[in-house]
Chain A
């Protein structure tokens, strides 16, 4: 499958370069893939997505980074061309649906606007299309709903409206920035199912099990391509095919989805998985294993590995220089000196062999009991 979107060496800073928040992120999306971008607050995941959409706040500066969409260099486009592309071929679902909606326009007007401005529909056609789209995202009585204002809707309904706007023109790439974080669990499950259904429906997706690690780079289906941003790694079970883990503005690990849960390579990823309460279908541990310390303040990164101060397995090189991404094979990359060849030869711990293959003493299962 061909690469549809490519981000190369993305670097973003605040305060005119004094506060770097994204430090050389590379990302490739193959057509039809669902890729997870995971990180805590301040890891640079959301700002990376905003820069792709050309929505960086004025206080932020794009230091470097090339965006290629279907071979087209986005940096070379004029702002107007870029904007046109971003509404039509690249869609985005924002975390906080209330701030993403205009409080003084009815939701029908807001969804119809997409069709009028981007697809050249007449007012009447656009309204009809908007109502149809609202029905597709599962609003009961869409004709009535279209005439209402955003404040009349619950959080879950608002998120459905935002999804309707993002998917109205069937974009080839959808960026979903924490689309379920503000929602209650039963509603979040609805929204995830909706996203999975709609992105699959854009091309008839055969609902396949997640691919095995060896095929991690071969997407299993031809649905639309999704970049799913979340702070919750577990959310990606059975949803994404590939995950990038970010910490302090860097990608620290990249792996296929079963692989990242069964063989997490970077100590940060390993720590995250142990710190998360396990799914209900897995046995409950006596206590969670916390990662000690706190992430460094954004922009004030240590010279070596940014995770070194919190890492239980840190050794001398970690303090001295930033590790590159080491290739572990099968599309699995980790930014950790434990995987450097020289270190291995000098008798350093062979990390992959003593990885915890099971988490919290239980074999990982995705899904039900």
Chain B
């Protein structure tokens, strides 16, 4: 089980000069070159439930992908902790981290850039098994064959290179790679957004089947609300680096949603055109977030309090938490 407590992550653009020169420049100029950084995640607390599909929903710049990578241990948080079965990820020793990596896996949005073009599909899937010294070469070969079959790729694809695969097949391959070590938690970052409609449903159904068969906990990062609604048991909606709302799927039509979530729903259904809540303006600049609630500049319900104070995420009722002064 993954728990995160008050997670913060800020990226400091390094002016393309590398980290050391940028730090030196910054010291030299007395902070003039320090823009304050891109505040991607600004204090998020969340807990996964075993076996659930948690949908992490947000628009670009909301911090959802950064949060996914923090959960996978790919970034070090600036503040806050990621706990896996009660153990702090930041305090883990080398050996423990290695076992964490085996149990928590991530698959990336863009299967092209996340694959080594010089490795065959087979060796790509096998890589993790080799690193973790699982089985001898014959056992590993059998394991790769089983994985290929599990994700619906023909066995002869093991000797092919990633460029020989179609988009949907590549996503299947990246799924096989993520499953090789038998993870308990799988983080999928926009797994179908690069795929054509007729292929999307294949990958979605495959993910749902695998989750069922393997008892996986799946964290699904996506901007597509109608899609997440179908797959997820629980939705966590992010905006401006913060959680706006966390809601169980079966409570979706029974709760007073966060104003941002209402707007997102209206946009997704194109009700915005028919006089629904069409949002004006743009998401906040992550280098310079607005004071108070990040949604306040676009919110039709904002009051003075919203500008002065950032509303905390409050549990209103079972299966519904919301960060809004007006709820």
Residues of A within 8 A of B (CB): 40-41, 154-157, 184-190, 192-193, 196, 231-235, 237-239, 271-272, 274-281, 284-285, 287-292, 294-295, 310, 367-369
Per-position binary interface string of chain B over residues 281-298, scored 1 when its CB falls under 8 Å from any chain A CB and 0 otherwise = 011000000000000000
Within 8 A of A (CB), among B165-202: 166, 168-169, 196-202
Per-position binary interface string of chain B over residues 258-293, scored 1 when its CB falls under 8 Å from any chain A CB and 0 otherwise = 000001111111111110101110110000000000
- Residue B17 interfacial (CB < 8 Å): no
What residues of chain A lie closer than 8 Å to B159, measured between beta carbons? Answer: none
A193→B196 contact, CB < 8 A:
no
- Residue B230 interfacial (CB < 8 Å): yes
| CB-nearest residue of chain A to B226 | A277
For the complex, what is the distance from the CA of A157 to the CA of B268, rounded to whole Å?
Answer: 20
Q: Which 4 A-B pairs have the closest CB atoms?
A: A290-B201, A189-B267, A184-B59, A275-B201
For the complex, what is the distance from the CA of A369 to the CA of B252, rounded to whole Å?
Answer: 13
- Residue B227 interfacial (CB < 8 Å): yes
Chain A interface secondary structure, helix, strand, loop or mixed? loop
The 6 listed contacts between A and B (C-beta, < 8 Å) are A238-B270, A276-B201, A287-B208, A287-B230, A292-B202, A294-B168
For the complex, what is the distance from the CA of A274 to the CA of B205, rounded to whole Å?
Answer: 13
Task: With a 10 A CB-CB cut-off, give which of B263, B272, B280 has the most chain A CB atoms.
Answer: B272
B198→A189 contact, CB < 8 A:
no
Query: What is the distance, in angstroms, from B43's C-beta to the closest C-beta of chain A?
Result: 22
From B169, B196, B225, B230, contact of A41 by CB (8 A)? B196
Beyond A290-B204, A368-B269, list 19 extra A-B contacts (CB 8 Å). A40-B196, A40-B198, A184-B59, A188-B267, A189-B279, A193-B278, A196-B273, A232-B197, A239-B270, A239-B273, A272-B198, A275-B198, A277-B230, A280-B225, A288-B205, A288-B230, A294-B166, A367-B270, A368-B271
Task: With a 10 A CB-CB cut-off, give which of A196, A277, A291, A368 has the most chain B CB atoms.
Answer: A277
Query: What is the distance, in angstroms, from A28's C-beta to the closest C-beta of chain B?
Result: 26
Query: What is the distance, in angstroms, from B72's C-beta to the closest C-beta of chain A?
Result: 24
A290→B274 contact, CB < 8 A:
no
Per-position binary interface string of chain B over residues 53-69, scored 1 when its CB falls under 8 Å from any chain A CB and 0 otherwise = 00000011000000000
Per-position binary interface string of chain B over residues 203-234, scored 1 when its CB falls under 8 Å from any chain A CB and 0 otherwise = 01100100000000000000111110110000
Residues of B within 8 A of A (CB): 59-60, 166, 168-169, 196-202, 204-205, 208, 223-227, 229-230, 263-274, 276, 278-280, 282-283
| CB-nearest residue of chain B to A278 | B226
What residues of chain B lie closer than 8 Å to A276, measured between beta carbons? Answer: 197, 201
Count A-B pairs with CB separation below 8 Å: 127
What residues of chain B lie closer than 8 Å to A271, measured between beta carbons? Answer: 198
For the complex, what is the distance from the CA of A254 to the CA of B11, rounded to whole Å?
Answer: 49
What residues of chain B lie closer than 8 Å to A187, measured between beta carbons? Answer: 59, 282
From B168, B227, B273, contact of A238 by CB (8 A)? B273
A192→B269 contact, CB < 8 A:
no
Query: What is the distance, in angstroms, from A21's C-beta to the closest C-beta of chain B?
Result: 16
What residues of chain B lie closer than 8 Å to A40, measured between beta carbons? Answer: 196-198
Given contacts A288-B205, A294-B168, whether A186 and B279 have CB atoms under 8 Å apart is: yes
What residues of chain B lie closer than 8 Å to A231, measured between beta carbons? Answer: 196-197
B205→A287 contact, CB < 8 A:
yes
What residues of chain A lie closer than 8 Å to B198, measured between beta carbons? Answer: 40, 271-272, 275, 290-291, 295, 310
For the complex, what is the distance from the CA of A277 to the CA of B231, rounded to whole Å?
Answer: 10
What residues of chain A lie closer than 8 Å to B271, measured between beta carbons? Answer: 281, 367-369
From A156, A193, A237, A277, contact of B229 by CB (8 A)? A277
